[in-house]
Amino acid sequence: MKAGRCLLLLALLVLLTAPLMLADDRKRVRKNRERAGDENFHKSRKQQYKKAKKGSSYDTVPFIDKEDKTFWRKEAQKELETQLGVRPRVTQAKNVILFLGDGMSVATVTAARIMKGQKTGKWEHQDLAWETFPYSAIIKTYTADSQVADSAASATAYLCGVKNNRGTIGVDVNVNRENCSAQHDPTFHTHSIAKWFQDGGKSTGFVTTTRVTHATPAGVYAHIADREWEDDHEITADGLDAEHCDDIAEQLILNEPGRNFKVIMGGGRRVLTPSDVLDVEESRYGFRKDGKNLINMWIDDKASRGVRASYVWNRDDLLALDTSKTDYLLGLFGYSHMDYVVERDSAMDPSLPEMTKAALEVLQKDPNGYFLLVEGGLIDLGHHGNKVQKALSETVEMAEAVQVAVSMTSQEDTLVVVTADHGHSLTINGYPTRHTDILVDVNYRHAASVPLDSAAHTGDDVGLYAIGPHAHLFTGVHEQSYIPYALAYAACVGDGLTFCGSNRFRRNHGLLPSNRGQSKLRQRG
């Protein structure tokens, strides 16, 4: 009986566990099939890469070479050797060039890198110009009143060293948006690093692909309670007195430090010309209701000061310009913003690298040094339209402009910094395989989980990359408002700590030259 009961229990146990065993078997079979499917997929993928596809970016791109442990060890050792050779340059930065990718989130940099790699054949191994810089940092972008920044408040932070309210430029937290009377209070004004350079007897200028009165460039010269007040008609439209509140364009041309800029290049002719004057390129009139032609006023001002000045509005005139005989340059290449690089008329519109080159040729004539702001402004506009190819193409073009600046300057006396003002909604997810083509139609609008008329900014931190004298000041995590003070320290301008005038600080921190003529900071490497 006992034996019979044991057999019965064993039979019941088998019956009860059989479904579980069958389920496990089915899981194993399914996994094997998935694994086989993956292998088949990669085999077919490999065949795709081997085939020439007319018009495809796969035409000249081979399948991924074997990247085994030997490959990655070799790559890591090369990186380590490069990093071990990094030494801080503890000398005064005669010149400072600040590149600003508007809306250039970390994901944007990654995607632009891959897009460029598609064209060069390096794919994911590609580097953008600033990614080889020896120093980098993370920048916190929140504003005085918002966790997510706009370009106006962020410009005030990284150019003036003060966090303020969203939508305002060159003023502190005491000025709320559209508060004209508060805008007029000079105690609320914040001055930019461009003014600090001018006060130090150095030259200044800026280049942008947006209107020259847009939020980012306005940060170097304007004090305004609303970023939308680019011309007088915008102020009047808000029910305010345009005679009492100077608009951004007026401040650029008539006030300091704007009237002293030796280089102004970008778009935006409409905000500098009267409403009865037809644009030189497009069949549209200017926006100004006060009758002021600020382009002519700029020309007249420079003539009265006896300086050599040139105004250009197309690419041919810019490239034909003799910069060696030009002290002041105004270039306005668009009725509004300049065109996207993928849609640009190359006969009419210069590229960002070409504008950067011309700007440097003008500024480099100053033996005392200079500050130059270069903005890739259409990165942001491409993102706002959820048109990724436009945003990424603008990012790649800015990288080319950075390369131009690096090739025209010396790391011994020029500090070059690349950063962004805020993030954007682009993400890279879904586990795409290596060498996946990320390009789509130029005007393809990517899907959005919450459709809006304009894609929103994000509040994530952004990257910063630096090379040149005192580039080592940009490591770790910093407030966005830290940036101009670090630049000023390196260049010995402004009224804060400077490398040239802070002997007590450097002595207290062991940074003064030792008896051997080497600073202790250099000795630390």
Question: 């490069």: which residue's tokens?
Answer: 82
For strands 203-211 and 457-458, give the pairing.
unpaired
Classify 310 as helix, strand or coil: strand
Supply angle C-alpha 381, 223, 234, rounded to 5. Answer: 60
Amino acid of residue 23: A
Radius of gyration of the chain (CA): 28
Q: What are phi and psi of 509, to 5 degrees?
A: -105, 15
φ, ψ dihedrals at 519, nearest 5°: -70, 150
CA-wise closest residue to 58 among 45, 68, 42: 45
Is the omega angle on the peptide bond into residue 257 within 30 degrees of 0, that is, cis?
A: yes
**Phi, psi (deg, nearest 5) at residue 303:** -65, -40
DSSP codes joined into one string, 154-211: HHHHHHHS----TT-BSB-TT--TT-HHHHT-GGGB---HHHHHHHTT-EEEEEEEEE
Strands 263-267 and 328-332: parallel
CA dist 249 and 261 (Å) reads 13
Give the residue among 191, 188, 260 at the shortest CA–CA distance from 219: 191
Distance CA 399, CA 287 (A): 33
Distance between CA 230 and CA 151 in Å, rounded? 14
Q: In what order do the strands lie in the sheet with 203-211?
A: 309-312, 328-332, 263-267, 203-211, 370-376, 95-101, 414-420, 462-467, 135-140, 476-479
181 has catalytic annotation:
no
Provide the pairing of β-strand 414-420 with 309-312: unpaired
* Active-site residue, selected from the candidate residues 44, 56, 146, 151: 151
∠ CA 134-137-143, rounded to 5°? 150
Give me the active site residues, please: 151
